[in-house]
Chain A
Amino acid sequence: MTPFMRLNSVVGGYAKEDVVRGVSLDIHRGDFIGIIGPNGSGKSTLLKLMTRFLKPWRGVLTLDEEDLGGIEPRSFARKVAFVPQDTWVQFPFTVEEIVLMGRIPHLGRLQSETKRDFALAEKALGLTGASHLKGKEIDQLSAGERQRVIIARALVQEPSLLLLDEPTSHLDIGHQIKMLNLLRRLNKDTGLTIVIVLHDLNLAGEYCNRLALMEEGRVFIEGTPEQVLTYKNVESVYKTVVVVRENPISGKPYVIVSSREA
């Protein structure tokens, strides 16, 4: 099976500095891939290259074997949606208006939303457990509520690939689990392909079927959580002493940190 999105020796970054220094990665339909790695290892930049917000300097990114640079922006937005770490909206749009904006790539310029668009927005808000927020103004919500609204907007785009950049970093553990459970359900039930940048190694190991551990702009190792989350890999990349055990409930690897310096 050919991969859904393929990255081939991709190099890119900001201004003069390359942050991603040659990443090759295959993303298959139905994957739930976690990108992990220390601060500054190029995780978010890699995601920005995948959303086309940054153009690669070298290397090739393809979606369904089509070069990313050649895809028309609106058609790309119908296939790939993005959820940032946090969204700060300074205009008092209602939650419903924000979610409906996910339909922009599907609508013509002067076309107004149809019943189907409203129904999709309703459904997405239901899925993310945010239906009760519908009439509220976005700038009145808590970080957790806002994030659920933003995910609902991404779902309304009806993407095949969902990219998320540390979507849980402002949430408490309860909300983190709720959100990741939602993503897992979407991945299992609708076959939505997910690529997520996560800081928490244990959450990454728990939810993702594959992990890519990054170091200094390159993929250090890529594979199943069991293959990636070994104490050797983690100690070598994070320069921290850790112990890896098995999560007694899920059987996935579990990383325990130690205060001892490496």
Chain B
Amino acid sequence: MRSVGRQRMSFFIFVLLSVVLAGLIKGSVDVPLGELFHPENRPLLSLRLFRVLAGIVAGSGLAACGIALQAILRNPLAEPYLLGTSSGAGLGAVLAVILGIGQAFLPLSAFIGALVSAVLVYSIARQGYRIPIPSLILSGVVVSVAFSGIIVFLISVSSNEAVHGLMWWLWGSLDVYDPRLLSAVSLVVLAGIAVLFVFAQDLNALSLGEEEAHHLGVQTERVKTGLFILTSLMTACLVCVTGIIGFVGLIVPHLMRMVVGPNHKTLLPASCLAGASFLVGCDLIGRTVFSPVEIPIGVITAVVGAPVFIVLMKMQHRVRER
């Protein structure tokens, strides 16, 4: 049992390392492995290193947040953007560009937008000292729809050409233009993943139901609130670097639950590795297949992710029917 888990984990690590290597070598120009570390290739290498790092951080962070939210909300459609962070960040970004402060303050205003919408969703859902799950999901949907409406309205009435360049916000990009921002975000996200791992047992208990978790001595309201805040912060941080990369936080958790089972002690690390590999791989596809044109990464995650997911789901059903 244990050794099977270890084998699988080594397999996921191997996959991630291979994808990372491919991500460094391949691109609009292919650099052979031997020449990668030559001095003349240093700018290219650092550019690609940042890209790969962004993929690892965003992929594992979104997968981990998706797992936590699916466990707490016990809803298969739960994902990191459910609490309104994506539309909030989008609105923040659009406003920054329209106000003409996009160059310097776009990440900051996206971050603020994400947090504002998370707080808004949270306070709409709140009833006294409790946050009932159905009202949280509903208020998340309502805020997202409202913000998306405002975004489209602003884009359509704005004469500012730059607003139309905001496409990458809506579909995401691992193109890093501020290494310091990326480092800060990586720290927050990786620390967040570590905290989620510490709460793996609580997530197991919560995925049985709140009342069940209560009977196992879990302080459900506290843990729920803490993890909502943590996941909102993590997604807000990610969104301000990479934009909105959909699908990863939704399907990687489901995929890995089919592969390694629902126990969060293994599910969480496995999903982080898989999420990271998936994003680095998708980015690789996005920047090589139609090179020199770059396809937004969110498009690739959807186009690659959906069929993979459907095939696995069907396989799972066939196994179960036996």
A residues with CB within 8 A of B: 51-53, 73-78, 81-82, 84, 87-94, 97-98, 101-102, 104-105, 107, 109-110, 112, 140, 157
Contacts and interface: CB of A to CB of B under 8 A. Distances in A.
Contacts of B76: 90
B211 interface: yes
B201 A84 contact: no
Contact of B199 (A82, A90, A98, A109): A109
B262 A93 contact: yes
A89 B217 contact: no
Contacts of B204: 93, 97, 101, 104
22 contacts: A53-B211, A73-B218, A74-B217, A78-B217, A84-B212, A87-B208, A87-B209, A87-B212, A88-B209, A89-B208, A90-B74, A91-B71, A91-B207, A93-B204, A97-B261, A101-B204, A104-B201, A104-B216, A105-B216, A109-B198, A109-B199, A112-B265
B313 to A, nearest CB: 13
A77 B217 contact: yes
A77 B215 contact: yes
B207 A107 contact: no
B216 A77 contact: yes
B26 interface: no
Interface in B228-255: none
A11 B88 CA distance: 44
A93 B261 contact: yes
B205 interface: yes
B46 interface: no
B205 A93 contact: no
B198 A104 contact: no
Contacts of B263: 93, 97
Given A91-B207, A109-B201, A104 B261 contact: no
A53 B214 contact: yes
Contacts of A94: 261
Contact of A82 (B71, B215, B265): B215
B257 interface: yes
A51 B201 contact: no
Main secondary structure of the interface of B (DSSP, over half): helix
Contacts of A101: 204-205, 208, 216
Nearest to B127: A15
Contacts of A104: 201, 204-205, 216-218
A73 B205 contact: no
Contacts of B123: none
Contact of A81 (B198, B201, B211, B215): B215
B18 interface: no
A110 B265 CA distance: 9
Contacts of B71: 91
Query: Which of A77, A91, A98, A112 has the most chain B CB atoms closer than 10 A to its own CB?
Result: A91
Given A93-B204, A109-B198, 4 more contacts: A51-B215, A91-B257, A92-B261, A109-B201
Given A77-B217, A78-B217, A101-B216, A92 B262 contact: yes
A112 B263 CA distance: 12
Contacts of B216: 77, 101-102, 104-105, 157
Interface in B106-154: none
Interface string B258-285: 0001110100000000000000000000
Query: Which of B198, B262, B263 has the most chain A CB atoms closer than 10 A to its own CB?
Result: B262
Contacts of B217: 73-78, 104-105
A115 B219 CA distance: 27
Nearest to B70: A91
A45 B25 CA distance: 64
Given A53-B211, A101-B204, A109-B201, A91 B262 contact: yes
Query: Which of A84, A88, A104 has the most chain B CB atoms closer than 10 A to its own CB?
Result: A104
Nearest to B214: A53
A75 B216 CA distance: 10
A82 B217 CA distance: 11
B43 to A, nearest CB: 42
Nearest to A76: B217
A95 B91 CA distance: 46
A102 B209 CA distance: 14
Contacts of A157: 216
Nearest to B222: A73
Interface in B67-94: 71, 74, 76
Nearest to B74: A90
Nearest to B213: A104
Contacts of A51: 214-215
A77 B207 CA distance: 18
A116 B199 CA distance: 22
A72 B77 CA distance: 34
Contacts of A84: 211-212
A74 B217 CA distance: 4
B114 to A, nearest CB: 28
Contacts of B74: 90
